[in-house]
Amino acid sequence: MAGNVYSFGVILLELITGKTAVTEGMEFLKRPLILITVSPSLFKLRFGSNELSRNIPSGNWNHLTGVLPPLLGNLANLQVLKLQMNKHNGAIPIEIGQLHKLSILNLSCNSLGGSIPSEISSLSSLSLLNLQGNNLNGCIPTSIENLKLLIERQLGENQLSGVIPSMPWILQVSLNLSGNHISGYIPRIFDNLVSLEVLDLSNNKFSHSIPKELTEMSALTE
């Protein structure tokens, strides 16, 4: 971009290594944002809601378009990864399954394609998974029920197909599968989600009747 001028709403970059924190929050950035090295001790990385251009190249974190690099899997201490509302494309790298300390993964509102990698089910600390608003296709991995700490799951507005697999029973904030191509019947697994507050299955291709278990989910607010 001419003159290296980048205009966006807000960038918040938090690089926290041990007890040292570097935070940049700006309304207008007029120079490239370049991180020559990324410490493996990094545990929070947020680049959401901006209009930065160029790619995130493997080994040199610059800007926020293009594919997500396999290098992400090297950030073993990462707990929060937020890259929502950018222009990333390509597939979600399977190396993301190496981030065993990750509790929040938000890749929503990008142009990511391919299937949801089953390796995500290895993220045993994950409490929030938001992949909404991409071009993800294929079936939801059945192994996702292994995410025993997952309380919110946002997969709406993709191209997902197949049937609804079993869900982690601890889901309590939201389960959003709307705007996909999920078919078959609505399973009776929802009677186990007694604490779930929001359930959105709209705009899919379900058949058969609505199971009575849905009417017995007393915690639902919408």
31-74: pLDDT as tens digits: 333 333 445 555 545 554 444 444 443 333 334 678 888 888 88
| Neighbour-count burial for 126-153, b at 16+ CB within 10 Å, e otherwise | bbbbbbbbbebbeebbeebebbeebbbb
- Report the C-alpha dihedral over residues 129, 135, 140, 144, rounded to 10 degrees: -20
pLDDT at 177: 95
pLDDT at 108 over 50: yes
Whole-prediction pTM value? 0.75
pLDDT at 153: 94
Alpha-carbon gap, residue 88 to 10, rounded angstroms? 18
Give the mean pLDDT of 124-140.
96
Would you give the end-to-end CA distance of the chain in angstroms? 44
pLDDT band of residue 222 (cuts 50, 70, 90) is low
CATH node for 2-216: 3.80.10.10
* Three-point CA angle 13, 104, 94, nearest 5°: 95
